[in-house]
Amino acid sequence: MKKDTLTIKDNSTGKSIELPVRRGTLGPPVVDITRFYREMGFFTFDPGFLSTASCRSGITYIDGDDGVLLYRGYPIEQLAEKSTFIEVAYLMLYGDLPNAKQMDTFSHLIRTHTMINESLKSFYNGFYHDAHPMAVMVGVFGSLSAFYHDSLDIRDADHRDLAALRMIAKMPTIAAASYKHSVGEPFVYPKNSLGYCGNLLHMMFSVPSEDYEIDPIAERALDLIFILHADHEQNASTSTVRLAGSSSANPFACVSSGITALWGPAHGGANEAVLNMLEEIGDAKNISTYLDKAKDKNDSFRLMGFGHRIYREYDPRAKIIREMCHEVLKKLGNENDPFFELALKLEDVALNDDYFKERSLYPNVDFYSGIIYRVLGIPTNMFTVMFAVARTVGWVAQWMEMISDPDQRIARPRQIYEGAGIRDYVPLDKRNSDT
């Protein structure tokens, strides 16, 4: 039987190395290069990690060529249709769908950790009302380790479990408070009688002066969007959480680093950027002008919500959200929502354009999500905050998996050094004074 190895030969010396090939349950084989530098004296070079597996994981599987996304083996399409966000959170954290008792216990535990320490509320007052809610969330979430000392010890399984529950449970409360601060309304406490997404809508949109009724269609739409955003393998923000976790930083600090990484417009910040882009394009007659800008290498403009490092097909999440737009707009908004109409036309033109076809650029999860957030009354600057709330489940699950991985060690990549060669210090009076 052919040994599962890959031989790499240094043609300048004739020296070669046989490296083990590892195969997961699904996906391409992996060549294990752990010994490569030690035995061959070479680093490998892979900026952006296009060909690099950074870890072993059993949480999410993506096949970018066929547009497949599985959470713990379950197709995203089935979870979107049949599950709930809290059930998906349980699945992510513990590896399988919960039975009725496990679901009750987990839901109860999440509900009993939704409040944040009262002192945390004063943090919000330190921000101007026009602070971006993501800036507020990064600041407030990053401070949680200053309050919850009984869930910081990463070597203690009870501490880890408690930190996981607290982070997932408190994210909606922190997010809603970031929104309330930005609109100058009083914070609303969580209500433990409500579901996860209903509570978030309640904390965002209810006011003391009036009764607030949660629209079940809005609640279900948000729950579905959150399922689609829960995890996505080793994306930039999840890899950031794992990198921070590899230094044995406390869980709150690790997830706070994930929130920061998600904010970039190349990543989770794209959903806000898509709406701003649609606003800038304004009318279908301007689409070709903006597509030309997107194709112009001298223009920094990119078609936000388009393209993906892994998907060479339509992002399965974008497909589901696009279908959702039709349904939610019919029930909650107006079926002829101008942004949705424009987005559909933009997609149609782009997908028939050679530049996008040749590069396999399709709409990703961020292209349509903002259309739904808008109809739910969520302002554009809160879109990435919503993404962060949902992705906290994935960050926490991936962090827990990393901490218990026996292979886990501090992540410390190397480099190609292209700086100055070794040289001696030059005293000030000997330096060239002309430059």
Decide if residue 277 touches ligand SDX (CB under 6 A).
no
Binding residue for ligand SDX, selected from 365, 378, 385, 386, defined by CB under 6 A = 365
- The first and second tokens of residue 106, run together, are 């987990």
Decide if residue 266 touches ligand SDX (CB under 6 A).
yes
Decide if residue 308 touches ligand SDX (CB under 6 A).
yes
* Direct distance between the N- and C-terminal alpha carbons of the chain, in angstroms, rounded to an integer: 66
Name the minimum Å distance from CB 251 to ligand SDX.
20
Nearer of residues 162 and 365 to ligand SDX, judged by Cβ: 365
Subset of residues 199 to 228 that bind ligand SDX, contact rule: CB under 6 A: none
Nearer of residues 195 and 268 to ligand SDX, judged by Cβ: 268
Subset of residues 14 to 53 that bind ligand SDX, contact rule: CB under 6 A: 48
Q: Of 332, 342, 411, which Cα lies nearest the Cα of 378?
A: 332
Binding residue for ligand SDX, selected from 232, 242, 319, 322, defined by CB under 6 A = 232
366 in catalytic set: yes
Nearer of residues 162 and 270 to ligand SDX, judged by Cβ: 270
Decide if residue 60 touches ligand SDX (CB under 6 A).
no
How many residues in total does the chain contain?
435
Nearer of residues 74 and 189 to ligand SDX, judged by Cβ: 74
Binding residue for ligand SDX, selected from 190, 305, 316, 370, defined by CB under 6 A = 305
Binding residue for ligand SDX, selected from 222, 303, 378, 397, defined by CB under 6 A = 303
Name the minimum Å distance from CB 252 to ligand SDX.
21
Binding residue for ligand SDX, selected from 164, 361, 390, 393, defined by CB under 6 A = 361
Binding residue for ligand SDX, selected from 26, 359, 404, 413, defined by CB under 6 A = 359
Catalytic residue, from 366, 424, 429, 434: name it. 366
**What does the radius of gyration of the chain's CA atoms come to, in whole angstroms?**
24
User: In terms of C-beta density within 10 A (0-12 exposed, 13-18 middle, 19 or more buried), how is residue 202 classed?
Assistant: buried
Decide if residue 267 touches ligand SDX (CB under 6 A).
yes
Within 10 Å of residue 171's Cβ, how many Cβ atoms? 26
Binding residue for ligand SDX, selected from 140, 167, 222, 270, defined by CB under 6 A = 270
Q: Segment near ligand SDX (CB under 6 A), from 9-17, 34-42, 265-273, 280-288? A: 265-273
Give the position of tokens 């970018």: 64
Q: Strand pairing partners for 31?
A: 21
Decide if residue 347 touches ligand SDX (CB under 6 A).
no
Nearer of residues 347 and 366 to ligand SDX, judged by Cβ: 366
Name the minimum Å distance from CB 361 to ligand SDX.
5
Q: Segment near ligand SDX (CB under 6 A), from 9-17, 104-112, 218-226, 300-308? A: 300-308
- SS3 readout for the chain: CCCCEEEEECCCCCCEEEEEEECCCCCCCEECCCCHHHHHCCCCCCCCCCCCCCCCCCCEEEECCCCEEEECCEEHHHHHHHCCHHHHHHHHHHCCCCCHHHHHHHHHHHHCCCCCCHHHHHHHHCCCCCCCHHHHHHHHHHCHHHCCHHHCCCCCHHHHHHHHHHHHHHHHHHHHHHHHHHHCCCCCCCCCCCCHHHHHHHHHHCCCCCCCCCCHHHHHHHHHHHHHHCCCCCCHHHHHHHHHHHCCCCHHHHHHHHHHHHCCCCCCCHHHHHHHHHHHHCCHHHHHHHHHHHHCCCCCCCCCCECCCCCCCCCHHHHHHHHHHHHHHHHCCCCCCHHHHHHHHHHHHHHCCHHHHHCCCCECHHHHHHHHHHHCCCCHHHHHHHHHHHHHHHHHHHHHHHHCCCCCCCCCCCCCCCCCCCCCCCCHHHCCCCC
Decide if residue 291 touches ligand SDX (CB under 6 A).
no
Nearer of residues 195 and 272 to ligand SDX, judged by Cβ: 272
Catalytic residue, from 308, 315, 337, 407: name it. 308
Name the minimum Å distance from CB 290 to ligand SDX.
10
Dihedral of the alpha carbons of 74, 77, 83, 89, in degrees to the nearest 10: 60
Decide if residue 159 touches ligand SDX (CB under 6 A).
no
Decide if residue 114 touches ligand SDX (CB under 6 A).
no
Binding residue for ligand SDX, selected from 235, 256, 257, 260, defined by CB under 6 A = 235
Name the minimum Å distance from CB 239 to ligand SDX.
9
Name the minimum Å distance from CB 269 to ligand SDX.
8
Interface positions with ligand SDX (CB under 6 A): 48, 232, 235, 266-268, 270, 294, 302-309, 359, 361, 364-366
By annotation, the residues acting in catalysis are 308, 366
